A and B are shown apart, each in its own frame.
Chain A
Amino acid sequence: MQVSRSMLFEMYRRMMRIREFELVAIDLFKRGELKGAATTYNGMEASAVGVCMALRQDDLIAGTHRSHGHSIAKGADLKRMMAELLGKVTGYCRGRGGSMHIAAFDTGSLGALAIVGAGIPIAVGAALAFKMKGEHRVAVPFMGDGATNTGDFHEGLNMAAIWNLPVVFVVENNQFAVSTRIREAVKIEDLSIRARSYGIPGARVNGFDVLAVYEAAVEAVERARRGEGPTLLVTESYRFEGHYAGEPEVYRDRAEVQEWCKQDPICLFRNHLVEQEEFSQDEVAAIDVEVKRDIAAALKYAKESPDPEFSTAMDFIYA
């Protein structure tokens, strides 16, 4: 598949943004500045970016408790993202959501929903609205491997299938549902075969390879946009961090993690750009510098932003 040079640049930029954002999030959490939990996306950047680069601005995504990457990949503003992590009033959700609930409606991100599987029915409903209104838009619920065992998954894929809705269900198999390996939780090795039972296509791609994800996503998104119905797309990767930053990870050993980290999607893509796409090292390094600068600016913005006023605690309450 031909991918333009500017598109390749943008893919790399967004993957780097996610990585650098998450490194800051982990650091903030360890310092106690990020409250609650930081469930990070390191290792899975190619999945969100490969899919979101296949989407238009007006397509919608729904996320999970591990969704910083999805919003950034869809184009969310880093400053408002970072401010939300720190619970600031300038954050996307004005400090009401935090890390697990960042929504960026201005870029088509319906929100990170921290109940596993919950984004699936919501995306199906958004796609129903698109179809009823005759809009050629696509809805993408992202979910982890663990979500494939929920009722939402079964109900949602079935409903989208019978109504031929423009949905691309993206399962990001990072091998773990908290501590439970996917092979303990399902009897099959390839999650994409579940598509067959709904009468829809299923595809499985290397989730460390952004171009492979992009190619599969383009096919699924175009199919949905043509009105031919939903697709189940499974991206295979690995969660480099624990379930949350600082989690003890007693269920896996470091050697295993290090082995998987050899497939770091950003390193792989950087090498690809230099070796196959005639990017110079300097060009790639310039993006790294730009991203680090943007993340630093976002962090500064977030830290300097005010907390929500206590007097606004009941804003957005109607019942």
Chain B
Amino acid sequence: MARTDIDATSLGATKVAMPSDLIVQVPPGVPAKELSYQEAIREALREEMLRDERVFLMGEDIGKHGGAFGVTRTLFDQFGPERVRNTPISENTIAGAATGAALAGMRPVAELMFVDFSGLAMDQICNQAAKLRFMTGGQCKVPWVIRMPQGGGAGKSTAAQHSQSLEVWYAHIPGLKVVHPSTPYDAKGLMKAAIRDDNPVIFLEHKFLYSFRGLVPDEDYVLPLSRCDVKRAGTDVTVVASGYMVWHAMAAAKALAEEGVSVEVIDVRTISPLDEETIGTSVRKTGRAVLVAEACRSYGPTGEWGMVVVEQAFDYLRAPVVRVTGRQSPVPFANSIEDGMWPDTDAVVSAIRKVMAW
């Protein structure tokens, strides 16, 4: 099998991609082509490397091999070993070297093979890169991107150390921007923005989404790193979600529309800084909020989003805020107990029904 064919399904996923017409972001008539999420990220990397010679890639097995998920495939052949740089298994030094190179004028994009491995790089990411601009009184900036595939969510049997969703590890630290796109369109535009940003950006890619396809405009575009995106407008209930969970939210919204429930779906595509305003505005309009995240429940993203709802829209709430999250458990291996580990469309539908019936 060619590397391009490697996606979550070929890794043993028991579920299939959602229909791509659930989320349409490019209006008819705009010149565009259909790309997978994986291809969209690759095209963003390729275009930025062509645009700016300071941009280079480093990470484990990203050269000929193309990375564990094939994202950098073909880039090695195009740009060579200097700019698509295979590293030893040294996560902390991959992150630290990205910082050093950034301080010395480059714009590195590093890949850590799985977000689960990034604990090994925690000091360089959270204590060094995140703090340098502040700690030096603005003497420097650290323009890097560290890409980390994350998530399970699709029944892949990759167990406890290759399946986590860990965005809150990084969102908690002042000095890091955290991005988690849900679609090919967002992935490309946010990656370009991340590379052009002067600060460290943690770019979380959902592994199951790599094979999802969608239209991506031909023109050069960048998306803001500070805004939520309203993926579907509605009036009865706000569903806040990110990553793969946006698709379950959209599928739930579509199903409930047939019952006359109007669901607004907000995609937290930049986890940090969090666009509180868009969430608050939406819930003040709908009066109901359901929060959906794949990460574990305790101290997870839904806790933060829920407090934003309380702070911004308490007086407007017509029902308690409900959250739908990953189970508070390490990810198990066997399908029989992996099942139910993460929210699915049915869980989101149930939560919406619950707040609508209050």
Assess A121 versus B135: contact at CB under 8 Å? Given A60-B104, A115-B128, A129-B104. Answer: no
| 0/1 interface trace, chain B 104-115, chain A, CB 8 Å (1 if under) | 111010000000
Residues of B close to A129: CB separation below 8 A:
100-101, 103-106
Residues of A close to B140: CB separation below 8 A:
103, 105, 110-111
Q: How far is the CA of A115 from the CA of B95 in the complex (A)?
A: 15
Interface flag for A128 (CB, 8 Å): yes
Contact assessment for B100 and A115 in the assembled complex, using a CB-CB cutoff below 8 Å: no
Residues of B close to A118: CB separation below 8 A:
96, 123-124, 127-128
Assess A121 versus B93: contact at CB under 8 Å? Given A94-B137, A132-B106. Answer: yes
* Minimum distance in angstroms from A102 CB to a CB of chain B: 9
| 0/1 interface trace, chain B 126-141, chain A, CB 8 Å (1 if under) | 0110001111111110
* Minimum distance in angstroms from A249 CB to a CB of chain B: 28
* Minimum distance in angstroms from B80 CB to a CB of chain A: 11
Contact assessment for B137 and A92 in the assembled complex, using a CB-CB cutoff below 8 Å: yes
Interface flag for B158 (CB, 8 Å): no
Q: How far is the CA of A91 from the CA of B137 in the complex (A)?
A: 9
Residues of B close to A62: CB separation below 8 A:
100
Q: Which of B104, B120, B135, B176 contacts A319 (CB 8 A)?
A: B176
Residues of B close to A85: CB separation below 8 A:
none
Assess A319 versus B136: contact at CB under 8 Å? Given A125-B98, A155-B90. Answer: no
Contact assessment for A92 and B139 in the assembled complex, using a CB-CB cutoff below 8 Å: yes
Contact assessment for A111 and B136 in the assembled complex, using a CB-CB cutoff below 8 Å: yes
Assess A316 versus B138: contact at CB under 8 Å? Given A128-B101, A133-B105, A159-B87. Answer: yes
Interface flag for A213 (CB, 8 Å): no
Q: How far is the CA of A104 from the CA of B83 in the complex (A)?
A: 29
Interface flag for B99 (CB, 8 Å): yes
A residues 284-319 in Cβ contact with B at 8 Å:
315-319
Interface flag for A139 (CB, 8 Å): yes
Contact assessment for B96 and A158 in the assembled complex, using a CB-CB cutoff below 8 Å: no
Contact assessment for A318 and B177 in the assembled complex, using a CB-CB cutoff below 8 Å: yes
Residues of A close to B101: CB separation below 8 A:
125-126, 128-129, 132
Contact assessment for A124 and B96 in the assembled complex, using a CB-CB cutoff below 8 Å: yes
Q: How far is the CA of A151 from the CA of B136 in the complex (A)?
A: 25
Assess A125 versus B96: contact at CB under 8 Å? Given A132-B56, A162-B88, A319-B176. Answer: yes
Residues of B close to A155: CB separation below 8 A:
88, 90, 92-93
Interface flag for A265 (CB, 8 Å): no
Q: Which of A93, A94, A122, A319 contacts B99 (CB 8 A)?
A: A122
* Range, interface on chain A: 35 or more
Contact assessment for B123 and A96 in the assembled complex, using a CB-CB cutoff below 8 Å: no
Chain B residues with a Cβ closer than 8 Å to the other chain, count: 43
Interface flag for B272 (CB, 8 Å): yes
A residues 70-120 in Cβ contact with B at 8 Å:
91-97, 101, 103-105, 110-111, 113, 115, 118, 120
Interface centre among A97, A111, A156, A318 (most CB of B within 10 A): A318
* Minimum distance in angstroms from B252 CB to a CB of chain A: 30
Contact assessment for B135 and A96 in the assembled complex, using a CB-CB cutoff below 8 Å: yes
Contact assessment for B90 and A130 in the assembled complex, using a CB-CB cutoff below 8 Å: no
Residues of B close to A241: CB separation below 8 A:
none
Interface flag for A127 (CB, 8 Å): yes
Contact assessment for A115 and B123 in the assembled complex, using a CB-CB cutoff below 8 Å: yes
Interface flag for B304 (CB, 8 Å): no
Contact assessment for B97 and A128 in the assembled complex, using a CB-CB cutoff below 8 Å: yes
| Nearest residue, chain A, Cβ from B197 | A318
Residues of A close to B99: CB separation below 8 A:
121-122, 125
Interface flag for A222 (CB, 8 Å): no
Contact assessment for B100 and A124 in the assembled complex, using a CB-CB cutoff below 8 Å: yes
* Minimum distance in angstroms from A184 CB to a CB of chain B: 24
Q: How far is the CA of A242 from the CA of B166 in the complex (A)?
A: 40
| Nearest residue, chain B, Cβ from A110 | B103
Q: How far is the CA of A155 from the CA of B178 in the complex (A)?
A: 26
Interface flag for B174 (CB, 8 Å): yes
Q: How far is the CA of A319 from the CA of B124 in the complex (A)?
A: 17
B residues 69-101 in Cβ contact with A at 8 Å:
82-83, 87-88, 90, 92-93, 95-101
Q: How far is the CA of A122 from the CA of B135 in the complex (A)?
A: 15
Contact assessment for B105 and A121 in the assembled complex, using a CB-CB cutoff below 8 Å: no
Interface flag for A123 (CB, 8 Å): yes
A residues near B, CB below 8 A? 60, 62, 91-97, 101, 103-105, 110-111, 113, 115, 118, 120-130, 132-133, 139, 151-152, 155-156, 158-159, 162, 315-319
Leading 3 A-B pairs by shortest Cβ distance: A121-B96, A125-B100, A125-B97
15 A-B residue pairs with Cβ-Cβ distance under 8 Å, sorted by A, are A91-B137, A93-B136, A94-B137, A101-B136, A121-B96, A121-B97, A122-B103, A125-B99, A128-B97, A155-B90, A317-B175, A318-B133, A319-B176, A319-B178, A319-B199
